[in-house]
Homo-oligomer: A and B are copies of this chain.
Amino acid sequence: MDPYPKPLRDLIDALKRLPGIGEKTATRLALFILADKGNLPEELSAVLKTVREQIRLCPVCYNLTDRVRCAVCSNPYRDRSQICVVEEPSDVLALESANAYRGLYHVLHGLISPLGGVGPDDIRLAELMERIRQPGVSEVIVATNPSVEGEGTFHYIAKMIQDAGLNVVVSRIASGVPMGGELKYMDQVTLASALRYRRGVREM
């Protein structure tokens, strides 16, 4: 017999659908929520209800927004000549928190993956090409993850722009040993990349 009252069991089952949360963590979270002295369950319930109603995709860059255009696209101080291409909205958030980029973004919502059955038409590549064809774009920085799919998508984008004969620089984010990382813990591909793309002292 399940020792949990049904409403508690329902909450545990719903929490278990979240990534990385199993039976034990879900139970711990559910009991914490239930025992909260404040308004935690009501507040969580309310924000969960509104999040999908209010969040949509920016029609320009396909980043998440609750306005007509996203915060980056509608910011007049952003450099409109650069477009940084990423896989997911969370990549935009990560790059923005680094505070090192002042251009615009383009969120593909996926990567080309022949094994995963994702082709070029399944992600926002046509929309990217349409943006690049507009006057004023001078550089496309491909910031997909350094994975097989990320590299493949980068090469596809580079070839697509080259074939279209557009006068746009295509660049790729640097790949190497992360700051604070230790060489002895790095994989071979990362070390090979760090060596291959080494910088001369003059480039520092």
Contacts and interface: CB of A to CB of B under 8 A. Distances in A.
Contact-residue bracket for chain A: 35 or more
Given A1-B71, A34-B64, A97-B3, A43 B14 contact: yes
A71 B51 CA distance: 36
Interface stretch (A88-96, A133-141, A193-201): A88-96
Interface of A: 1, 3-8, 10-11, 14-15, 17-20, 25, 27-34, 40-52, 54-55, 64-67, 70-72, 88-90, 92-93, 96-97
19 contacts: A3-B92, A3-B96, A4-B93, A5-B67, A7-B54, A11-B47, A11-B48, A14-B44, A17-B40, A18-B29, A18-B32, A19-B28, A31-B88, A31-B89, A31-B90, A33-B48, A34-B64, A41-B48, A42-B52
Given A11-B51, A27-B90, A31-B89, 11 more contacts: A1-B71, A4-B64, A7-B54, A10-B47, A17-B40, A34-B55, A41-B51, A42-B48, A42-B49, A42-B52, A45-B45
